[in-house]
Amino acid sequence: MAFTVAIDGPAAAGKGTISKAVAAHFGFAHLDTGLLYRAVGAQVLAGGDPVTVARALNPADLEHDNLRTPAVAQAASEVAVIADVRSALVDFQRKFAARDGGAVLDGRDIGTVICPDAQAKLFITASAECRAERRYKELTGKGLSITLAQVLEDVKARDARDSSRATAPLIAAADAALIDTSDLSIAAAVARAVAAVEAAQ
């Protein structure tokens, strides 16, 4: 039987780490839905039309290792505003969620739009400053030359765009368990997430 865990929240709140750990804990498959928008964004930066690219997207497009750059993140959040781009990506996400054996999907609108009937819903958040610091460490660790102020500006710009768009804005589902990771270690945040999923089983 399908068991879906929907994990939403803003950029760099810890969703990715928590989602992977929850999926590993329960033996569920994991889909980072941000990769779908990043894959569209990357192809748009290369000259593609957003809706055409989204309609033709295939799983292999999610494997490219150039998807984790700040430029692609901004392009992703720009194409994510387009309603026809979002609707082109719905089926793939819902099919993933419905697979046998359980699935964890993380993104911005999983608990509200993609899987409103998910058995477990989590909303992971943290202060913008905290998230910028984490992203800064991650990006400089990969050798990118960027300042903390730039990263904070990017995080705030994406938050504003993701929260204010008309279609599927970033918002916690009414029935989501809220986890603020600002002052939590990774282990503590994962333990809370696992407990919330267990409570829903």
> Any contact of residue 111 with ligand C5P (CB under 6 A)?
no
List the structure tokens of 119: 């058995």
**How far is 156 from 161, CA to CA, in rounded Å?**
9
Q: Which region, judged by CB under 6 A, interacts with ligand C5P, from 71-79, 94-102, 136-144, 192-200?
A: 71-79
Q: Give residues 138-167 in contact with ligand C5P (rule: CB under 6 A).
A: 158, 162
Cβ nearer to ligand C5P, comparing 13 with 197: 13
Q: Which region, judged by CB under 6 A, interacts with ligand C5P, from 73-81, 130-138, 144-152, 177-185?
A: 73-81
**How far is 89 from 131, CA to CA, in rounded Å?**
27
> Any contact of residue 85 with ligand C5P (CB under 6 A)?
no
> Any contact of residue 73 with ligand C5P (CB under 6 A)?
yes
Among 33, 43, 112, 181, which residue sits at the site for ligand C5P (rule: CB under 6 A)?
33
Cβ nearer to ligand C5P, comparing 52 with 74: 74
Three-class secondary structure of residue 145 per DSSP: coil
Cβ nearer to ligand C5P, comparing 27 with 151: 151
The residues, any chain, with a CB within 8 Å of residue 80's CB and separated by 6 or more, are 37, 86, 108, 161, 162, 165
**How far is 14 from 138, CA to CA, in rounded Å?**
12
> Any contact of residue 37 with ligand C5P (CB under 6 A)?
yes
**How far is 161 from 76, CA to CA, in rounded Å?**
11
